[in-house]
Structure 1
């Protein structure tokens, strides 16, 4: 089917379709195929959904005449339409690239007679309905992960007691807009406890178990900062109250430097403090807070007052 042309492959998958979806497994399978094609010296392009990667090559912009082969990687192969009135994306792919040799690899075949399956020239499945065994998934062949930091994110939209000084929406937007640019694994968290909801910690110890395994916590909550430090995890705190309030006051009480007022939450400052939190100095400073404080402070003050005669 090459017609004497130099081979050029278009790599596709469910990650290529506007109405598809991109899973971590899909993306790793694509990386495994890309790695194999590069290793074999084969020229290729990858088509991405415009929603997932707006600046990349999109399927609608890929000229079928440019390619000798089309590879479809990972996911199920079927002809079911995604919604009423929307044609099957796989059948449309077959129609558009009919002049190419088409190969499916690492896919699940639920119906071998489905035209989405039979129209491929070759199908290399990871599993087929009715067969008891399969082959290892392509994601296992992807290049080794890069070891990104794990960042817990603890935000608050409450604290209405601060009235007109509240900048919680602005602070949350600044933090989340910035987080989209950070190369890290992000884990949304909450300090709120609820024994009825499995998505929330039911006890402080459950929360601590997560906090202690993170590389850094980004937070607009006082206890997001304090409990991260108690677990020995550096905290990048943004005080969401104009002029500063309890978050900034607690950071000062603890001598913790990685804190910004909401008015200061610019990307450059957030980047600077994140780098410090991830540094050896930041980790060492956070580790100091794992020890229980010595006597004094609020509890001694409470006990002195309770020891005074009543009345």
Structure 2
């Protein structure tokens, strides 16, 4: 006996959701506990370095366990044909049409929802690891910097790098909009989000400033060659985690500052960098507005 565990995360034209993968992990744990030899197969798009569903040899398996998602569609039917010699079991699936041959092709179906009945999803109690939550705040193209602007190259390097970091990435935009649910309407809403982050990766001036005012370390990357306003603001706040545009492609530099920002030291330094309430710019403005001040 040997089982193959698959799901929608195994199909090239399927999708891998967090719930799908956790449900497959739950079945993996259960089969391991009962001592049944088995493999998990994945989509070559989702996990190109792991066992590919498209390349497994059907003759190696006596059982197929299909996990999570709807029991329907041409890919499920194709699975029935490919593994016709195996005992096929569906678990944690939604059965929308019990007469669908994608459903009737299984020898056993243990549905999470069917005909008005519901059972807790497989993913509900699967242990997971805590990882850092990183806000990613990227600047728009800033044409005012002319030929010194390196936004496209810097953002390609930074997003390519952060995609390989084991963290929960939260794309954020400092721009506010009252009618766009994907953006905040007030700065209070935005800073409330930032205050719950562990680290911020940003190429925006206010990405840096609003992170530090919340005591959150910011890995700031200046998208302007030679240094622009991000560099100036890092200098003004005495913040060391700054990467110039010329070094944005160096993963070892980004890795080094990421480790520092996520360390106890980085968090301690960020906690001391909140903007002063008596801001110098405000003082100068007030003085300029006083009667008799020179223009």
Confirm or deny a common fold (TM above 0.5).
yes
Secondary structure at 2:136 match in 1: strand
What does residue range 14-33 of structure 1 map to in structure 2 within 5 Å? 14-33=8-27
Aligned to 1:306: 289
Aligned to 1:94: 80
Uncovered stretches (5+) of structure 1, i.e. residues with no partner: 1-6, 81-87
Secondary structure at 1:289 match in 2: coil
What does residue range 237-248 of structure 1 map to in structure 2 within 5 Å? 237-248=220-231
Uncovered stretches (5+) of structure 2, i.e. residues with no partner: none
Aligned to 2:62: 68
Secondary structure at 1:302 match in 2: helix
Instruction: Give the total of aligned pairs.
Output: 293
**2:267 corresponds to 1:283:** yes
Aligned to 1:34: 28
Q: Closer, same or farther in 2 for the Cα pair 1:187/1:105, shift >3 Å? A: same
Deviation by residue 1:37-57 (Cα, 9 ceiling, x = unmatched): 111111111111111111222
Tell me which of 3, 8, 13 is aligned to 2:2.
8
Aligned to 1:138: 122
Q: In 2, Cα distance between the equivalents of 1:76 and 1:309? A: 73
Q: In 1, Cα distance between the equivalents of 2:268 and 2:51? A: 45
Secondary structure at 1:93 match in 2: helix
Aligned to 1:268: 252
RMSD (Å), alpha carbons: 1.3
Q: In 1, Cα distance between the equivalents of 2:293 and 2:147? A: 41
Deviation of residue 310 (structure 1)?
6.0
What does residue range 1-311 of structure 1 map to in structure 2 within 5 Å? 7-78=1-72, 80=73, 88-128=74-114, 130-131=115-116, 133-142=117-126, 144-265=127-248, 266-290=250-274, 292-295=275-278, 297-307=280-290, 308-309=292-293
Q: In 1, Cα distance between the equivalents of 2:22 and 2:202? A: 30
Aligned to 1:4: none
The answer to whether the 8 A contact 2:65-2:88 is kept is yes
The answer to whether the 8 A contact 1:108-1:125 is kept is yes
The answer to whether the 8 A contact 2:137-2:203 is kept is yes
Secondary structure at 1:286 match in 2: helix
Secondary structure at 1:77 match in 2: coil
Deviation by residue 1:63-87 (Cα, 9 ceiling, x = unmatched): 1110010000001112x4xxxxxxx
Deviation of residue 208 (structure 1)?
0.6
Q: In 2, Cα distance between the equivalents of 1:233 and 1:41? A: 46
Deviation of residue 305 (structure 1)?
2.3
TM (norm. structure 2) is: 0.96
TM (norm. structure 1) is: 0.91
Secondary structure at 1:116 match in 2: helix
Secondary structure at 2:106 match in 1: coil
Q: In 2, Cα distance between the equivalents of 1:141 and 1:193? A: 37
Deviation of residue 304 (structure 1)?
2.1
Q: In 1, Cα distance between the equivalents of 2:260 and 2:15? A: 36
The answer to whether the 8 A contact 1:29-1:141 is kept is no
Deviation of residue 301 (structure 1)?
1.6
Secondary structure at 2:110 match in 1: strand
Deviation of residue 284 (structure 1)?
1.1
